[in-house]
Amino acid sequence: MLETCPSCQEKAMRPGTTELTRKIGGITFKAEVPVELCGSCGEWYVSHEDGHRFDVAVARALGAHAIGTPDAFKFMRKATGLRAVDLAELIGVTPETVSRWETGKVSVERRALALLQALVTEHAEGTTATLDRLRALAGKKKRKPRAVRVAL
Ligand SMILES: [Zn+2]
């Protein structure tokens, strides 16, 4: 909680909410987000954490609505915290390809979008199954075991 308002310096901060909106892929996404509100000047502040929670929720909604526009792809990637070069490595394309998708020079590949949607969902849920799988596949070739016992 802020002690004084960074804008007017008054000790008038109180918890509140505000409606945040983001327009991505031609759709406006809205959410009621917790803020610290100044009772004196009316300025409000969103914590970094709540701002990120909003972005992740928007990224999930983009996935749920199967939005694969260039800006949606870029927004979803950023919500997962992956740099373009990292995502490229994980899904086996060049960084230039990711750049072309995000600038709209080339249509986003459906399979890349599906993987990114999975990464967004897991990022929101705090799991990493797809990320772990992609990392293993992108990694250097490990020595193959001769035999593996599997469980039924
Ligand atoms: Zn203020």
Predicted confidence at residue 139, as pLDDT, reads 83
Predicted confidence at residue 141, as pLDDT, reads 65
CA nearest neighbour of 18 among 38, 35, 41, 43:
35
Q: Consecutive 10-residue runs of the chain (152 residues): their mean pLDDT?
A: 92 95 96 96 95 97 96 98 97 98 97 98 96 90 85 95
The CA 9 to ligand 1 mean position distance, Å, reads 6
Predicted confidence at residue 140, as pLDDT, reads 65
Handedness of CA 24, 80, 142, 95 (dihedral sign): positive
Predicted confidence at residue 64, as pLDDT, reads 94
The CA 37 to ligand 1 mean position distance, Å, reads 8
The CA 44 to ligand 1 mean position distance, Å, reads 8
The CA 10 to ligand 1 mean position distance, Å, reads 6
The CA 8 to ligand 1 mean position distance, Å, reads 4
The CA 4 to ligand 1 mean position distance, Å, reads 8
The CA 14 to ligand 1 mean position distance, Å, reads 11
pTM: 0.88
